[in-house]
Amino acid sequence: SDNGFILMIEGGRIDHAHHANRAKMALEETIELENAVKAALEMTEREDTLIIVTADHGHAVTMSGYPERGNPILGFVKNIERGNFVNNTENQAQPYTTIGYANGPGFDFHFDKNIGFWKDIENENYMSNNFVQMATFYLD
Protein backbone atom coordinates (compact mmCIF):
# COMPACT_ATOMS: atom_id res chain seq x y z
CA SER A 1 0.00 0.00 0.00
CA ASP A 2 1.17 3.53 -0.66
CA ASN A 3 0.07 4.45 2.88
CA GLY A 4 1.94 1.59 4.54
CA PHE A 5 0.62 -1.19 6.73
CA ILE A 6 -0.49 -1.78 10.30
CA LEU A 7 0.15 -5.11 11.98
CA MET A 8 -1.23 -5.83 15.45
CA ILE A 9 0.17 -8.69 17.51
CA GLU A 10 -1.75 -9.73 20.59
CA GLY A 11 -0.53 -12.18 23.21
CA GLY A 12 -4.05 -13.17 24.30
CA ARG A 13 -2.94 -16.33 26.10
CA ILE A 14 -1.03 -14.14 28.57
CA ASP A 15 -4.41 -12.78 29.65
CA HIS A 16 -5.89 -16.29 29.91
CA ALA A 17 -3.02 -17.37 32.14
CA HIS A 18 -3.38 -14.37 34.46
CA HIS A 19 -7.13 -14.95 34.80
CA ALA A 20 -6.27 -18.47 35.98
CA ASN A 21 -3.50 -17.19 38.34
CA ARG A 22 -0.96 -19.27 36.41
CA ALA A 23 2.16 -17.11 36.39
CA LYS A 24 4.37 -19.74 34.72
CA MET A 25 2.03 -19.94 31.75
CA ALA A 26 1.85 -16.12 31.57
CA LEU A 27 5.65 -15.87 31.46
CA GLU A 28 5.92 -18.62 28.84
CA GLU A 29 3.27 -16.90 26.72
CA THR A 30 5.20 -13.63 27.04
CA ILE A 31 8.22 -15.37 25.49
CA GLU A 32 5.98 -16.60 22.67
CA LEU A 33 4.73 -13.04 22.14
CA GLU A 34 8.35 -11.90 21.88
CA ASN A 35 9.00 -14.63 19.29
CA ALA A 36 5.97 -13.46 17.28
CA VAL A 37 7.28 -9.87 17.33
CA LYS A 38 10.72 -11.04 16.17
CA ALA A 39 9.12 -12.97 13.30
CA ALA A 40 7.00 -9.96 12.32
CA LEU A 41 10.05 -7.70 12.31
CA GLU A 42 11.88 -10.14 10.03
CA MET A 43 8.92 -10.35 7.62
CA THR A 44 8.16 -6.64 7.31
CA GLU A 45 9.88 -3.38 6.50
CA ARG A 46 10.09 -0.87 9.34
CA GLU A 47 9.74 2.02 6.93
CA ASP A 48 6.23 1.04 5.82
CA THR A 49 4.79 -1.11 8.65
CA LEU A 50 3.56 0.03 12.03
CA ILE A 51 3.60 -2.91 14.45
CA ILE A 52 1.38 -2.63 17.53
CA VAL A 53 2.06 -5.14 20.34
CA THR A 54 -0.34 -5.84 23.20
CA ALA A 55 -1.06 -8.48 25.82
CA ASP A 56 -4.76 -7.50 25.98
CA HIS A 57 -4.91 -5.79 29.40
CA GLY A 58 -3.18 -5.73 32.77
CA HIS A 59 -3.80 -7.76 35.91
CA ALA A 60 -3.22 -7.24 39.61
CA VAL A 61 0.03 -9.20 39.83
CA THR A 62 2.59 -8.50 42.54
CA MET A 63 5.98 -9.70 43.64
CA SER A 64 5.21 -10.38 47.27
CA GLY A 65 7.22 -9.64 50.35
CA TYR A 66 10.96 -9.68 50.21
CA PRO A 67 12.31 -12.54 48.13
CA GLU A 68 16.08 -12.68 48.24
CA ARG A 69 18.18 -11.98 45.17
CA GLY A 70 18.26 -15.16 43.12
CA ASN A 71 14.98 -16.47 44.54
CA PRO A 72 13.02 -18.22 41.76
CA ILE A 73 10.40 -15.81 40.41
CA LEU A 74 7.89 -18.68 40.35
CA GLY A 75 9.10 -20.02 43.70
CA PHE A 76 8.34 -19.48 47.36
CA VAL A 77 9.52 -16.96 49.94
CA LYS A 78 10.52 -18.25 53.37
CA ASN A 79 13.39 -16.71 55.30
CA ILE A 80 13.05 -17.26 59.05
CA GLU A 81 15.97 -14.96 59.98
CA ARG A 82 14.52 -11.98 58.09
CA GLY A 83 10.92 -12.64 59.07
CA ASN A 84 9.78 -13.31 55.50
CA PHE A 85 7.11 -15.98 55.98
CA VAL A 86 3.57 -16.38 57.24
CA ASN A 87 2.70 -17.95 60.58
CA ASN A 88 0.08 -20.66 60.36
CA THR A 89 -2.60 -21.31 62.99
CA GLU A 90 -0.05 -23.27 65.05
CA ASN A 91 2.43 -20.37 64.92
CA GLN A 92 4.75 -22.26 62.55
CA ALA A 93 6.51 -20.52 59.66
CA GLN A 94 5.36 -21.42 56.20
CA PRO A 95 6.20 -19.94 52.77
CA TYR A 96 4.18 -17.86 50.36
CA THR A 97 4.52 -17.54 46.58
CA THR A 98 6.92 -14.93 45.20
CA ILE A 99 4.34 -13.90 42.59
CA GLY A 100 0.83 -13.35 43.84
CA TYR A 101 -2.45 -12.05 42.50
CA ALA A 102 -4.90 -9.67 44.12
CA ASN A 103 -7.81 -11.90 43.11
CA GLY A 104 -8.66 -15.08 41.29
CA PRO A 105 -8.96 -18.85 41.61
CA GLY A 106 -5.63 -19.06 43.45
CA PHE A 107 -7.53 -18.05 46.58
CA ASP A 108 -9.60 -21.26 46.65
CA PHE A 109 -6.57 -23.31 45.65
CA HIS A 110 -4.47 -22.08 48.60
CA PHE A 111 -6.88 -20.93 51.32
CA ASP A 112 -8.32 -23.51 53.70
CA LYS A 113 -11.79 -22.25 54.63
CA ASN A 114 -12.10 -24.91 57.37
CA ILE A 115 -9.28 -23.40 59.43
CA GLY A 116 -9.48 -19.87 58.01
CA PHE A 117 -5.85 -19.76 56.91
CA TRP A 118 -3.52 -20.51 54.01
CA LYS A 119 -2.56 -24.11 53.21
CA ASP A 120 1.11 -24.98 53.61
CA ILE A 121 2.61 -24.89 50.12
CA GLU A 122 6.18 -25.82 51.04
CA ASN A 123 6.02 -29.20 49.28
CA GLU A 124 4.07 -28.02 46.22
CA ASN A 125 5.78 -28.16 42.82
CA TYR A 126 5.73 -24.51 41.76
CA MET A 127 7.25 -25.45 38.37
CA SER A 128 4.28 -27.66 37.49
CA ASN A 129 2.23 -26.44 34.54
CA ASN A 130 -0.84 -26.82 36.75
CA PHE A 131 0.45 -24.80 39.71
CA VAL A 132 -1.73 -21.82 40.58
CA GLN A 133 -0.24 -18.79 42.38
CA MET A 134 -1.80 -17.48 45.59
CA ALA A 135 -4.53 -14.83 45.38
CA THR A 136 -5.72 -12.56 48.19
CA PHE A 137 -9.42 -12.68 47.27
CA TYR A 138 -11.56 -15.04 45.25
CA LEU A 139 -12.85 -13.78 41.94
CA ASP A 140 -13.98 -15.89 39.00
**pLDDT per residue as tens digits for the range 126-138:** 999 999 999 998 8
Please, which pLDDT band fits residue 140 given cuts at 50, 70 and 90? Answer: low
- Distance, in Å, from the CA atom of 140 to the CA atom of 20, rounded to the nearest integer, reads 9
- Contact between 124 and 131 (Cβ < 8 Å): yes
- The model's pTM is 0.86
Please, which pLDDT band fits residue 83 given cuts at 50, 70 and 90? Answer: confident
Selected residue with higher pLDDT from 84 and 25: 25
Look at residues 114, 95, 107 and name the one whose alpha carbon lies nearest to residue 132.
107
Q: What is the pLDDT of residue 85?
A: 84
Q: What are phi and psi of 33, to 5 degrees?
A: -60, -45
